[in-house]
Structures are given as structure tokens and as C-alpha cells.
Amino acid sequence: MIILTGAAGFIGSVVAGELNNKGYNDLILVDDFSKKEKERNYIDLKYKSLVDRNNFFDWFKENHEEVDFVVHLGARTDTTEFDWNVFQKLNVDYTETMFTLCAEYQIPLVYASSAATYGNGELGYDDSHDVVEKLQPLNPYGRSKNEVDKWILKQEKQPPFWAGLKFFNVYGPNEYHKGRMASVIFHSFNQINATGKVKLFRSHRPDFADGQQLRDFIYVKDIASVICFMIERHRDSETARHQVKSGLYNLGTGKARSFYDLAANTFKAMGKDVNIEFIDIPEDIRDKYQYFTEANMTKLREAGYDKEFTSLEDGVADYV
């Protein structure tokens, strides 16, 4: 069995779908399933059972002998939430408990870290373990992910394999429920349908033109592909000698692109002329806004992942 937390959410549901595509139907889906608006993310998936996140650790203690792998994607991901207690409970404590149990039961674990751990990028975007203690995230969400990374790197007792995947800017299907936190493509598509134009943040820095803020945009289907790659490397006896080493791994494309490119490609995919208006970045996030992110993807490539990442143009067209 494979456990997948956050299974009703954006990334989790796409990963579950890709696991189904590869013949893995013995899934235990974990989430808060009381939110009916997310039901369409998992209603068509093949799985063994649904487990509420609040009951999961009890379930795990009773059923761990049947579990082959854990993919922990459940988290509070709102970068505009500033109540640390929320992140302490849902991100830090939950993930550390998951790691501790996987170490005790000797079950491989992949969990979601984040590029938000890199803060404004003054130390670069290199997934070396040497920089983790020095990173200065810009918001409580990024801090929660970095606190977990720091804690895990200090643990003597570990699962047989673990990987913390530092997701960069993920976009793609099944994010409709995320509201303000959904991708710019999602908001652009809806704005174009409603008004015929897209509003992007203007730059509040002289070294960046309006709309030319750069991010490493990664298509969610590529995230699913990488996670399946890690699972298969550890389940298939033929590839066992080529197992991926435990550690933190960046997960972007390695190529930063502008928000303008993102919006322009959305217009193109919808068959409409580009019409972009610039607005101020909201005050509550202005001093915590990243102007540039770009993943150093050397470590994952050296671990054996050799598929091409989806280009922004192809990803936007597919999503639209």
C-alpha cells in the first residue's frame, strides 16, 4: 500500500491520478474530506480507503505493516496566513510525527518542502544541506517548511529512504479550490473570460520591469512524475541498486520565466489577444514578495531523473 496525504488537494490528487495510471490502486488517501468542494479531485480515483487526517496516526500505528511507501503532501500552504500556531500544528508537528513513525516502522517517505524556504534568494537556490540552517524564509509558511527540513537533517534515526521535495511555483489542474493561492494561470484564465484582460503585479523594485518578475514555474504533472520515479526506484528490485539517496531535492524546471510570459501564453492558448494591466502588490505581502526564483536541478538529475520538464508554453496550453 502507498499512503498519500493531502490527497484531496491540488498536487496530491494529481499524484494519486498518476499512481493510478501506473497501476497503483492500493492507495490510502488521507485528508480533511469534510470539504465537499474538493470531492471532485478524488471521486474518480482508485483507492483502498479514505482516512481523515486527524485519525491517520492511529490508523498508521495499526496498519503500518501493510504500508510500502508514504507520500506526505498534506499541509497548510497559504503564504498570506501569519498565525504561526496553524503552521506549527499542520506543517511542523504533523510532518515530524510522520517522519518519526516512518523511521520507527522503516517505511520510505517523500514529503513536500518548498522553494519558499529560500526567502529572497540571497543564498541562491541550491538544494545543498549546508545552507539549510542559514536560510531566511519571508513568511511563516516558508519558515514552517524550513523548520521541518532542519529538524529532519538532525535526526539520527531515519526511514530507509526519505526525500524532501522543494516545490517551486506549481501550476496545473485541480487547484480551483485554492482561492487567492491558486496559480496566476488559473486567475488569468478566469479574468480573461470575465473581462478580456489580466491584472499582474507591477514591480516595486527598479531592477525589474512590470510583469518581469521571474519564477520557476513547474507543471504539476512533472511533480507527479518525479514522485513516481522515486517510488519506483525503491519498490522495483531491478532498480534497487540505483536507489535515489535520501535528502532535500529541488523540484522546478531550472528555468525562470516571467509572469508576463505566463499571462501571454494563457491568452495565446485561449486564442485571444494579449491585454495586460498592472496593479500594485498588496501591502500585506509586498515586503515578502519573491522577485526571482530558479531551481538548481543538478542533484535530481544526478539521481537519475532524466525526463524533460514541460515547457511553460506546453504546460499552459495543456492546462487551458
Q: How far apart are alpha carbons 183 and 265 in whole angstroms?
A: 14
Q: Say if residues 234 and 313 touch (Cβ distance below 8 Å).
A: no
Q: Which helix (H) or strand (E) holds 20?
A: helix 10-21
Grid cell locating 31: 485528508
Residues with catalytic annotation? Answer: 141, 178
Q: How far apart are alpha carbons 184 and 169 in whole angstroms?
A: 10
Let me know if 199 is exposed, middle or buried by CB neighbors in 10 A (0-12, 13-18, 19+).
Answer: middle
Provide DSSP, 148-180.
HHHHHHT-SS--SSEEEEEE-EEE-SS-GGGGG
Q: Say if residues 294 and 125 touch (Cβ distance below 8 Å).
A: yes
Cα separation values, 316 from 101, 184, 260, 268, Å: 39, 11, 13, 9
